[in-house]
Chains A and B, each alone.
Chain A
């Protein structure tokens, strides 16, 4: 059933809003903030799609989801068909529908943004993915006949999972190795429950398992078994290294070893992976934030996740300190909006210069300097410069540093012939993701540095294509 609403009318239809939990209620709860579209809203929204001849939404998507096709299936009421259409290109639709920065990708490319609000592609994607999951009718794609080839994937984050889904469909044997005890990488240790419920990750992983992907937790490649051993003794034909950017960066200011100073990785891992918010029911503790002042340093999604988590742990005041202005923050717009609604205080153009502590080594505050934006730097972003004499002290019992990550060195340091760049990220061909070592491919944050879930998934797809080609014609 084609969309009978004339294009002119479609442009007049307002973008449907995602129903959300009330800010004052949700800021004390780890339950998901966004509640999902109702079928009536979905149809209203889907009808807005202009079904462009040249769909810039698809070209804006790192994995190339066929947006207008799946939206047209939604209009037909065929939600399962729509979900299956997404799965052709995207192994984790319930996840990307929640965490993608759509405004910079599919929705950023939507032609309607020139005149009105873009189509709510992310919300539509989330709806059909949730629908198929909730109705227990996930369409498992059929795999090609077995090739007899085996691929090892190092890391079970978005890059690894995405590659696993594509490779197993091509008929290869796929085993994913994970260092932690749970599958999902940043999806389980990094992104909080209120933004991405862990049940959803578990169910998406189960889909991959049913497709034939094998998973092995508690294996640190480079320590438990090396890349060379995977290729020789364990007989893998190719390896995809997708270990992510798991090395926290601190600020390098005095006082960072005080008790109460966390990397965002540690804080979020304690709360998300280890469920510290349910201590003592779960054993791993996190600093008791109840009634305390918490400062989070950074302006990305990780900073937003940390500051909103601190609020949910009962912080009296949760403050975001960022050295540039709000316009320069790399976080998704929705996260910034949510954080503000929930009562996060924003201290923009402010940079920590020292962590202050008491005589027992416990944090008491952060000394900061105000900043102003100077000349644009190499990335074109105006770089912040300190304003002389503008120092302020912000009281805090907890500081969470979310100032980016570096390359985790374990695989590189135990694989001698794997070339790295000067920041110790793995060098890989931008098209084929081939590394300097025969049979070894690498992609995601361990190549590019910290980026987004969907870019990592894009790298996973690219790797899967290149590995499939290599397995049929093993040239290097």
Chain B
């Protein structure tokens, strides 16, 4: 059992959970993820680690409620437990002195990009962050990003915070006016694809973190396979970060849609039985 020691909302439907997982906390590097399962009847889902504290023996995850499991995680608080947390999985971000780096976080992607942004900054890169969101409430962790970067731009679809526009509008502006050596983009698939399109012809090294569907997270099932160049790779062990210019985003998006019907059904069922579902997760009781 893995105890939640702290929980708070960063925005509507976006919750930060600090979880006791001492073995993971000791080893975590930026870019790595864990797989969690809430209770006996739960599914396994991958979540990238925002931060870890080896001394406290905790890791921090940021979860946006989208499907059933993420919605349930949004209902949990300090004192609740997760049945399974395994990791840290995947390869760590490649941190080098690149020069000037642009780190782009779309929505909850900001939480995932944060540790890599910090590491890049510590490796004496100049780090510019672009945070994108639909609206002001969904811009998360701005202060924490500011603390580990040299410059931060906020972009919202409705202009309610920062500038009105897309992260790629700002990126285009930056690459036109200064020399950018490295870009990291983490967020929705269309955003990552758009970023790749901006930097491709300019030859700027661009990495993206792929959120494909996983079960074991150790290379055993092959469900998370993504097309990189002409080669099939497993996001869980070969990634999750890949060179954006080699990623076949169409295949990624298509494969991520594989269980859309089931996901809808599970979420509808959850919304109908929300209190029992939360109760079950809290009780940690078996549902066999």
Assess whether B68 is in contact with A283, with CB atoms less than 8 Å apart: yes
Q: How far is the CA of A98 from the CA of B68 in the complex (A)?
A: 37
Q: How far is the CA of A448 from the CA of B157 in the complex (A)?
A: 56
B87 / chain A contacts, CB cutoff of 8 Å: 220, 223-224
Is B220 interfacial (CB-CB < 8 Å)?
yes
Assess whether B251 is in contact with A246, with CB atoms less than 8 Å apart: no
A217, A225, A269: the one within 8 Å of B220 (CB): A269
Map CB proximity to A onto B67-82 as digits: 1 under 8 Å, 0 otherwise.
0110000000000000
B41, B215, B216, B220: the one within 8 Å of A282 (CB): B41
A260 / chain B contacts, CB cutoff of 8 Å: 258
Is B269 interfacial (CB-CB < 8 Å)?
yes
Assess whether B86 is in contact with A283, with CB atoms less than 8 Å apart: no
B265's nearest neighbour on chain A, judged by CB, is: A280
Secondary structure type dominating chain A contacts = loop
A180, A189, A218, A257: the one within 8 Å of B251 (CB): A257
- Min Cβ gap A31→B in Å is 15
Assess whether A223 is in contact with B220, with CB atoms less than 8 Å apart: no
A281's nearest neighbour on chain B, judged by CB, is: B41
Query: How many inter-chain contacts with C-beta < 8 Å in the A-B complex?
Result: 124
Secondary structure type dominating chain B contacts = mixed
Assess whether B89 is in contact with A266, with CB atoms less than 8 Å apart: no
Assess whether A266 is in contact with B223, with CB atoms less than 8 Å apart: yes
Q: Please indicate which of the listed interface residues A179, A225, A266, A275 has the most CB atoms of chain B within 10 Å of its own CB.
A: A266
Is A111 interfacial (CB-CB < 8 Å)?
no
- Min Cβ gap A258→B in Å is 8
Map CB proximity to B onto A262-300 as digits: 1 under 8 Å, 0 otherwise.
110110011001110001111111011000000000000
Is A361 interfacial (CB-CB < 8 Å)?
yes
Residues of B within 8 A of A (CB): 23-24, 27, 37, 41-44, 68-69, 83-89, 215-223, 225, 227, 232, 237, 250-251, 254-255, 257-259, 261-263, 265-266, 269, 287
Is A62 interfacial (CB-CB < 8 Å)?
no
- Min Cβ gap B57→A in Å is 13
B217 / chain A contacts, CB cutoff of 8 Å: 220
A189 / chain B contacts, CB cutoff of 8 Å: 216, 220
- Min Cβ gap B25→A in Å is 11
Assess whether A410 is in contact with B258, with CB atoms less than 8 Å apart: no
Assess whether B221 is in contact with A284, with CB atoms less than 8 Å apart: no
- Min Cβ gap A423→B in Å is 15
Q: Supply 12 A–B pairs (Cβ within 8 Å), ascending by A.
A: A180-B86, A250-B222, A259-B254, A259-B257, A263-B221, A274-B43, A281-B41, A285-B43, A287-B259, A361-B251, A361-B255, A408-B220
